[in-house]
Structure 1
């Protein structure tokens, strides 16, 4: 079970990292929409990047709690 959880968290981490790279490559005039539950809201690239970085930090913390010896 721990391996499945670890693999899922690693997938989430990669998804958020890819999202940040994609956001950083957008022109500043592009419209960005951020998902909140089942709705999408227009936001700035900076706010979306910050939200993705917060998600990365959260997933890394969860991974650290699962693998305290590897830190």
Structure 2
């Protein structure tokens, strides 16, 4: 559910990179993907929750209007 950055990404030519640069790039990509998977799982758990309570305030209850903050407000902080 992440928001894509619309900026043009720098193209990388793996054939011209040294082995150490390739290793650093692969580690960075793996970490980025791992974080995205964790974030997606977290958001999915929020969606599946019947009742979500933060600091004692009911945020999401099925069949009841939302109180508190909205998803768009959450996305601004991420």
**TM-score (structure 2 length as normaliser):** 0.42
Q: Answer with 1 or 2: which has the greater Rg.
A: 2
In the superposition, the TM-score normalised over structure 1's length comes to: 0.45
Judging by fraction of residues, say which structure has more helix. Answer: 1
